[in-house]
Amino acid sequence: MHIHHNDILNNVIVVSIDAKTWGGRKKLRAKDITSKASDLPPTDLVSLGSRKVFDPEALKPFLSFKREMEEALAAFGIKFAKNFVVPREEFASARQTLDDIAARHKKHVADFVASYPARLQSWRDKHPDHTSLLDDAPSVDQIESKFYLGYTPFSIGPAAVDGSEDDSSQAQQLVSGLAGRLYVDVAKTARALVKRMTGRSDITARFLNPLRAIESKLASLSFIDPGVTPMVEEIRRVMSSLPNEKKLGGNDVLAVRGLLSLLSEPSGLRTHAAALGSQACLLLESDEDEDDALLSAILPQGQQPSSAAPASSAQPVSAPVPAAPVAVPIEADDVFSVAI
């Protein structure tokens, strides 16, 4: 069976999260250091060569927004090369979720900026003997620019050469890496579920929700590898055999445990898939550095995802396109198409 790797790549969207969050810290200066033990600042103000010019507890909620985006993309697709790969047909739903998170983040920033002067003064009042350490905190006019959360979608497609579109070795390697990453991703979830079952003779119906999520993810990404479909069918077979009850035990628990045991070993999954014509990586573990190198090799300079110059969640930044490889337009105007 001939695998059209470029057709597979045309069916996915690569999403890069662009995030910037202020940590509330400044570098510790020579003048901030004193030789008198009695004058040493408290540990909640100074640590590891930095000064906390703002209350770090007030900044923690900002970290949850990026994590929420990552979890949402992981639910729709798979993490690959420090980005996320989402099926094209699922991207509209994923985009709506990401836009909702970005909108809530934007409101949180606005509320934070409004309360920033009072919070900053409260932090200074808490350390009246060390106000010199806090004298260069960002002003109200500067603070809003310290936060950003958005994403940039990329579409990866073939470059036409003399009117032809041939499969490239890079495309084949990338598809193989995607399949391998999918198996590892599923295995990690399955292993966590196996660990939760340790010492238990029964499970609740709610315990099956992660299994349903695995089935949904594999089904939406089944075009990546021909060995995925039989796994989807096996999950559905086991799930359909279970009674519709709040608590399961006996042979039902054994059936779930056996299914999770199969899913929890990437090598076993790949061996099973290879017998069905799988293009999955032969490596037992997916190497993220190699994944990153593969993706970087096909993204033109200037279109590499970058957190230093984040793109809007609504409109991605424009980027210079080199002569080769060539960026080609696709149907959606707000998604980059990067040729390989």
The predicted-structure confidence for 17-67, as pLDDT tens digits, reads as follows 999 988 877 676 655 565 454 555 666 666 666 788 888 889 999 989 999
User: 17: which strand partners?
Assistant: 151
To the question of pTM greater than 0.85 for the whole model, the response is no
Query: Within a 10 A sphere around the Cβ of 264, how many other Cβ atoms?
Result: 19
Written as one string, the DSSP assignment of 50-91 is EEE-S-GGGGHHHHHHHHHHHHHHHHHSEEETTEEEEEGGGH
Strand 247-249, strand 202-204: pairing: antiparallel
pLDDT in tens, 306-332: 333 333 333 333 332 332 332 333 333
Strands annotated E in the chain = 12-20, 25-27, 46-47, 50-52, 78-80, 83-87, 148-157, 202-204, 247-249, 336-339
Q: 136 with 305: CB under 8 angstroms?
A: no
pLDDT digit string (tens) for 47-59?
A: 666 788 888 889 9
Q: Which two tokens stand for residue 51?
A: 């000064």
Cβ neighbours around 80 below 10 Å, total: 23
